[in-house]
């Protein structure tokens, strides 16, 4: 996890007064509550023999310490290494008059004020808790809800501030005497761990639904779950941020059945294994990927599949597998069960044969179910059994998806483990609320120069998803305690997100700013890099409504604050059938043939498509064919021409398959004369014409990528020369394509230009709200 942690301000110079007594007041800001900060400070003060106190309030943690200046300085220096979940953003220190009476160091009760502190993200089980979980002598041996100050759920179980047990999902579970003692002991790892619990007093796992033919209940829920999975059944379990569906990944019939029941013919499934060693035979695990896999945020990490590995039905046509390690104690316990309940930790690093499919348990287009009753209804006909619990999930949070590259990582979906960690804006402004776009929706809120992006909310096409967006908004407002002063949305008048923004603004009497989609995409990347001046923006996207009302998506922009000028665009292709062309790449291939003057080939080439003749007629007559400069549709056209994907069963499928084919081939040279460029319009018709006659798909895909990179680089260089601006940001859904982006980055580097890319935020619409915030906040 990337943090906002700043170095603690420099220490006062050591001087001759080192042995003199002084009293300091220290204010710690950032993510400093509910993360074991106060016991950490308490232990530190004990160790340095300091008197005083520490307490939480609405601004963070407040400390008063008294002792020799040397001890105070040492104490302050050690604040640099806080507990794992803490993120100290700022330390303020002031000298106070000495107090004669107070001896010893105390933890004082919380004082509620204006909350300017952050809630931590949900994190995986820490090493200490894991050791207890597998220690038959420990009080919490095999307890599925084990956690401590340094690990466990946070964001997903907090209803509102302040972060006290009463405001969490544990409110219904009064701690037993032993838990209460741990809670009250500053020397204990669970001192003031709000969600602490044990088998005596805490939540339990509960079967919520089991198909009748599964037989009589067994005594042990975990053994039974494992037996079901080994028997090829599909089991829903309650994960950290919502229900997940599990099945045996090595059982092709089980995987096929899951696909059939979820009506998900080809979209890749993530795999869950006990540890990185268990993945070693399946994927190429570089150091960066392994670190991401094992990070406390526990994202799904996209890893390159080993050559020759064949796991039927997991990721059809792709060369990467989504890998995931246990994020909750329950996941660990399934592997523990499968390993025969060994005592101790040795097995946790040894390869384990159990490999599970782990996928969100939502019906397609619906949000993840978080409530047990809701899950039973939603999963009837999908899961053979539903394993819930009596601990509620208060904030829905999908798994995050990331990918290691270039020594760091890039984010595909930002959710569990990241939400709601703050991001920094280039400068402060009025508190702003941004509603994102309609697919991969995520909303954002800013206060000062901090911005919080909600967890991934997803496609707003269903009523449940729109209600989930409101829930996420209310939850975020409650845990941040922000009052937005303005609202931002996309310019598309028919986006549900735009309408939600208007509704919220009207209800609260706030102004709404509608910003252009690609301007916001570029602004997100610029803001992430703290860039607050003029820049060139290359938007490589699927679709966004343009200033002229047309479908944009391959744009070269000049961006400066709230101003945006379109310097150029990809030569538009017609979209035969509008949105149907975004689902059916063969239609884009037909559009390509049409702009190449080969309309009469369409009916023959796509004879298998019932609509081929009609689509040819639409193109010939120019009806139902809105033009689009979209880069995403250009990829679709290429995939359609190469026969990589005729119709998509999930968003982005054609481009993802084309990228996989290019990676399979490896580097290729750009096609000479593959493009023309005049007046800012980049025309790739020569490349499309070349693709029409290709048989070697992998080679053609590699040449397509290489040529596009060369064309884009030349195009950007033209813009740099005409504008005099050397800072270039790239954004949009197409930027998930690493073959394209890595080559473009390298190509610009050789031209002495630096390409700014999305880092912690997804480059697609999942990060749009951050750009909207930055633009909304600058409106005057």
Binding site for Fe ion (CB under 5 A): 541, 765
The minimum distance between CB 593 and other proteins, in angstroms, equals 17
Report the length, in residues, of the chain: 780
* Site membership for Zn ion, residue 200 (CB under 5 A): yes
Return the range that interacts with other proteins (CB under 8 A); candidates 475-483, 609-617, 691-699, 718-726. Answer: 609-617
* Site membership for other proteins, residue 265 (CB under 8 A): no
Long-range pairs for 570-573: beta carbons < 8 A, 24 or more residues apart:
570/629, 570/630, 570/631, 570/634, 570/681, 570/682, 570/683, 570/684, 571/595, 571/629, 571/681, 571/682, 571/683, 571/684, 571/685, 572/627, 572/628, 572/629, 573/627, 573/628, 573/630, 573/633, 573/634, 573/637
List the interface residues with Zn ion, window 123-152 (CB under 5 A).
126, 129, 148, 150-151
The minimum distance between CB 494 and other proteins, in angstroms, equals 5
Identify which of residues 459 and 742 has a Cβ nearer to other proteins in the complex: 459
* Site membership for other proteins, residue 466 (CB under 8 A): yes
Out of 140, 492, 566, 745, the residue judged to bind other proteins by CB under 8 A: 492
Identify which of residues 501 and 671 has a Cβ nearer to Fe ion in the complex: 501
Compose the 21-50 pattern: x for residues touching other proteins by CB under 8 A, - for all others: ------------------------------
Choose from Zn ion, other proteins, Fe ion, none: what does 626 bind? Cβ within 5-8 Å by kind.
other proteins
The minimum distance between CB 735 and Fe ion, in angstroms, equals 10
Distance CA 79, CA 76 (A): 5
The minimum distance between CB 150 and Zn ion, in angstroms, equals 5
Q: Secondary structure of 609-644 in the HEC alphabet?
A: CCCHHHHHHHHHHCCCCCEECCHHHHHHHHHHHHCC
A 10 A CB-CB count for 693 gives 8
Q: Is 499 helix (H, G, I), strand (E, B) or coil?
A: helix
Whether the CB-CB separation of 261 and 417 falls below 8 Å is answered with no
458: left (phi over 0), alpha (psi -120 to 50) or beta: left
Choose from Fe ion, Zn ion, other proteins, none: what does 621 bind? Cβ within 5-8 Å by kind.
other proteins
Q: Is 401 helix (H, G, I), strand (E, B) or coil?
A: strand
* Site membership for other proteins, residue 578 (CB under 8 A): yes
Whether the CB-CB separation of 107 and 55 falls below 8 Å is answered with yes
* Site membership for other proteins, residue 529 (CB under 8 A): no
Residues in Cβ contact with 119 at an 8 Å cutoff, skipping those fewer than 6 apart: 31, 33, 34, 154, 155, 158, 161, 163, 420, 479
Choose from Fe ion, other proteins, Zn ion, none: what does 363 bind? Cβ within 5-8 Å by kind.
other proteins
Identify which of residues 336 and 413 has a Cβ nearer to other proteins in the complex: 413
Distance CA 467, CA 434 (A): 16
Out of 153, 733, 763, 767, the residue judged to bind other proteins by CB under 8 A: 733
Out of 541, 653, 659, 760, the residue judged to bind other proteins by CB under 8 A: 541
Choose from other proteins, Fe ion, Zn ion, none: what does 198 bind? Cβ within 5-8 Å by kind.
Zn ion
Tell me which residues are annotated as active site.
38, 56
C-alpha closest to that of 470 among 483, 485, 486, 454: 454
The minimum distance between CB 488 and Zn ion, in angstroms, equals 39
Q: By rule CB under 5 A, what count of residues binds Zn ion?
A: 10
Choose from Fe ion, other proteins, Zn ion, none: what does 624 bind? Cβ within 5-8 Å by kind.
other proteins
For CA atoms 6, 9, 14, 18, give the dihedral sign.
Answer: negative
Out of 372, 438, 653, 659, the residue judged to bind other proteins by CB under 8 A: 438
User: What would the two tokens of residue 564 be?
Assistant: 């945006």
* Site membership for other proteins, residue 544 (CB under 8 A): yes
C-alpha closest to that of 51 among 105, 100, 95, 97: 105
* Site membership for other proteins, residue 493 (CB under 8 A): yes
Residues in Cβ contact with 603 at an 8 Å cutoff, skipping those fewer than 6 apart: 612, 613, 616
Identify which of residues 43 and 583 has a Cβ nearer to other proteins in the complex: 583
C-alpha closest to that of 436 among 56, 708, 765: 765
Choose from Fe ion, Zn ion, other proteins, none: what does 462 bind? Cβ within 5-8 Å by kind.
other proteins
The minimum distance between CB 614 and other proteins, in angstroms, equals 4
Q: In Å, how far are 169, 185, 191, 195, 337 from 199, measured between CA atoms?
A: 16, 20, 18, 13, 18
Out of 70, 131, 138, 201, the residue judged to bind Zn ion by CB under 5 A: 201
* Site membership for Zn ion, residue 85 (CB under 5 A): no
C-alpha closest to that of 476 among 219, 70, 118, 194: 118
**Torsion angle defined by CA atoms of residues 322, 325, 328 and 329, in that order, rounded to the nearest 10 degrees:** 150
Compose the 361-390 pattern: x for residues touching Zn ion by CB under 5 A, - for all others: ------------------------------
Whether the CB-CB separation of 668 and 699 falls below 8 Å is answered with yes
* Site membership for other proteins, residue 611 (CB under 8 A): yes
Q: Is 690 helix (H, G, I), strand (E, B) or coil?
A: helix
Q: Which parts of 330-421 are beta strand (E)?
A: 356-360, 385-389, 401-405, 408-413
Out of 764, 767, 771, 778, the residue judged to bind other proteins by CB under 8 A: 764
Q: Which residue has the tokens 């097995």?
A: 347
Compose the 413-452 pattern: x for residues touching Zn ion by CB under 5 A, - for all others: ----------------------------------------
* Site membership for other proteins, residue 288 (CB under 8 A): no
User: What is the secondary structure of 240-296 as a DSSP string?
Assistant: SSSEEEEEETT-HHHHHHHHHHHT-SSSPPEEE-SSHHHHTTTEE--HHHHHHHHST
114: left (phi over 0), alpha (psi -120 to 50) or beta: beta
Out of 3, 46, 81, 364, the residue judged to bind other proteins by CB under 8 A: 364
* Site membership for other proteins, residue 167 (CB under 8 A): no
List the interface residues with other proteins, window 644-663 (CB under 8 A).
651
* Site membership for other proteins, residue 562 (CB under 8 A): no
Choose from other proteins, Zn ion, Fe ion, none: what does 466 bind? Cβ within 5-8 Å by kind.
other proteins
Distance CA 700, CA 141 (A): 56
User: What Rg do the C-alpha atoms of the chain give, in angstroms?
Assistant: 28
Identify which of residues 227 and 617 has a Cβ nearer to other proteins in the complex: 617
Identify which of residues 387 and 634 has a Cβ nearer to other proteins in the complex: 634
Whether the CB-CB separation of 471 and 448 falls below 8 Å is answered with no
What is the DSSP secondary structure assignment for residue 513, as one 8-state letter? E
Identify which of residues 129 and 538 has a Cβ nearer to other proteins in the complex: 538
Q: In Å, how far are 91, 343, 427, 680, 726 from 241, measured between CA atoms?
A: 32, 29, 32, 46, 42
Out of 170, 439, 556, 682, the residue judged to bind other proteins by CB under 8 A: 439
The minimum distance between CB 768 and Fe ion, in angstroms, equals 6
In a 13 Å sphere around the CA of 203, the CA atoms on its Cβ side amount to: 23
* Site membership for other proteins, residue 518 (CB under 8 A): no
Identify which of residues 286 and 579 has a Cβ nearer to other proteins in the complex: 579
Q: Is 446 helix (H, G, I), strand (E, B) or coil?
A: strand
The minimum distance between CB 600 and other proteins, in angstroms, equals 16
Out of 5, 106, 562, 617, the residue judged to bind other proteins by CB under 8 A: 617
A 10 A CB-CB count for 264 gives 16
Out of 4, 106, 176, 339, the residue judged to bind Zn ion by CB under 5 A: 176
Q: Which residue has the tokens 């064949």?
A: 310
Compose the 202-231 pattern: x for residues touching other proteins by CB under 8 A, - for all others: ------------------------------
Out of 292, 581, 684, 727, the residue judged to bind other proteins by CB under 8 A: 581
Residues within the interface to Zn ion (CB under 5 A): 126, 129, 148, 150-151, 176, 179, 198, 200-201
Name the site residues for other proteins (rule: CB under 8 A): 263, 363-366, 437-440, 461-464, 466, 492-496, 541-545, 551, 575-583, 610-611, 614-615, 617-618, 621, 623-624, 626, 628, 632, 651, 733, 764-765
């Amino acid at each position: 996890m990337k943090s906002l942690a700043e170095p603690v301000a420099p220490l006062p110079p050591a001087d001759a007064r080192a042995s003199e007594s002084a009293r300091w007041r220290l204010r710690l800001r950032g993510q400093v509550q509910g993360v074991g900060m106060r016991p950490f400070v308490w232990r530190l003060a004990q160790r340095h023999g300091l008197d005083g106190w520490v307490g939480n309030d609405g601004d963070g943690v407040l400390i008063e310490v008294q002792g020799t200046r040397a001890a105070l300085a040492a104490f302050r220096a050690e604040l640099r290494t806080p507990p794992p979940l803490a993120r100290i953003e700022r330390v303020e220190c002031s000298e106070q008059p000495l107090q004669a009476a107070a001896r010893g160091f105390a933890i004082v009760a919380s004082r509620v004020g204006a909350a300017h502190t952050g809630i931590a993200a949900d994190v995986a089980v820490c090493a200490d808790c894991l050791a207890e979980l597998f220690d038959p002598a420990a009080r919490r041996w095999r307890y599925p809800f084990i956690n401590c100050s340094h690990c466990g759920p946070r964001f997903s179980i907090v209803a509102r501030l302040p972060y006290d047990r009463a405001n969490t999902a544990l409110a219904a579970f009064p701690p037993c005497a032993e838990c209460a003692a741990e809670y009250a002991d500053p020397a204990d790892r669970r001192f003031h761990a709000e969600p602490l619990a044990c088998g005596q007093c805490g939540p339990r796992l509960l079967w919520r639904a089991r198909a009748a033919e599964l037989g009589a209940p067994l005594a042990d829920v975990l053994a039974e779950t494992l037996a079901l999975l080994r028997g090829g059944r599909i089991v829903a379990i309650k994960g950290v941020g919502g229900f997940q569906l599990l099945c045996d990944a090595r059982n092709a019939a089980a995987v096929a059945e899951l696909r059939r029941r979820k009506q998900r013919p080809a979209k890749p499934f993530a795999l869950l294994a006990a540890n990185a060693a268990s993945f070693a035979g399946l994927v190429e695990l570089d150091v960066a990927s392994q670190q991401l896999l094992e990070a406390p945020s526990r994202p799904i990490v996209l890893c390159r599949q080993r050559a020759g590995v064949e796991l039927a039905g997991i990721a059809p046509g792709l060369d990467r597998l989504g890998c995931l390690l246990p994020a909750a104690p329950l996941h660990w316990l399934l592997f523990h069960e499968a390993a025969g309940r060994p005592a101790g930790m040795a097995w946790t690093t040894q390869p384990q044969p159990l490999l599970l499919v782990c996928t969100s348990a939502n019906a397609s287009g619906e949000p993840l179910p978080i409530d047990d009753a809701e899950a039973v209804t939603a999963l009837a006909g999908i899961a053979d059994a539903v394993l819930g619990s009596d601990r509620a999930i208060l904030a829905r949070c999908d798994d995050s998806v990331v990918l290691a590259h270039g020594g760091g990582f890039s984010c595909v979906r930002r959710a569990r483990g990241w939400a709601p960690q703050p991001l920094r804006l280039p400068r402060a402004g009025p508190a702003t609320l941004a509603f994102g776009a309609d697919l991969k929706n995520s909303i954002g809120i800013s206060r000062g120069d901090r911005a919080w992006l909600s967890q991934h909310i997803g496609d707003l096409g269903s009523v449940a998803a729109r209600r989930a967006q409101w829930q996420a908004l209310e939850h975020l407002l409650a845990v941040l305690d922000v009052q937005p002063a303005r609202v931002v949305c996309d310019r598309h008048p028919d986006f549900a997100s735009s309408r939600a923004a208007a509704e919220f603004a009207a209800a609260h009497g706030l102004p709404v700013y509608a910003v252009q989609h690609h301007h916001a995409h570029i602004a997100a990347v610029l803001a992430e890099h703290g860039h607050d001046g003029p820049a060139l923006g290359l938007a490589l996207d699927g679709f966004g409504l343009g200033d002229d009302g047309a479908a944009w998506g391959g744009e070269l922009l000049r961006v400066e604050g709230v101003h945006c000028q379109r310097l150029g665009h990809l030569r538009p292709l017609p979209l035969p059938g509008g949105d149907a062309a975004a689902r059916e790449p063969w239609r884009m291939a037909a559009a390509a043939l049409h702009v190449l003057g080969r309309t009469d080939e369409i009916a023959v080439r796509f004879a298998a498509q019932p609509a081929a003749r009609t689509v040819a007629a639409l193109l010939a007559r120019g009806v139902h064919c809105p033009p689009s400069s979209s880069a995403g549709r250009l990829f679709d056209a290429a995939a359609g021409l190469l026969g990589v994907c005729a119709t998509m069963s999930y968003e982005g499928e054609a481009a993802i398959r084309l990228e996989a084919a290019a990676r399979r081939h490896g580097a290729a040279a750009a096609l000479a004369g593959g493009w023309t460029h005049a007046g800012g319009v980049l025309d790739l018709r020569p490349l499309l014409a070349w693709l029409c006659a290709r048989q070697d798909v992998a080679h053609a895909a590699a040449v397509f990528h290489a040529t596009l990179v060369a064309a884009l680089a030349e195009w950007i260089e033209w813009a740099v020369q005409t504008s005099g601006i050397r800072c270039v940001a790239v954004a949009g859904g197409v930027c998930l394509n690493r073959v394209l982006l890595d080559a473009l980055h390298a190509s610009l580097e050789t031209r002495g230009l630096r390409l700014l890319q999305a880092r912690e935020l997804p480059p697609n619409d999942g990060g749009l709200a951050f750009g909207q915030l930055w633009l909304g906040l600058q409106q005057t």
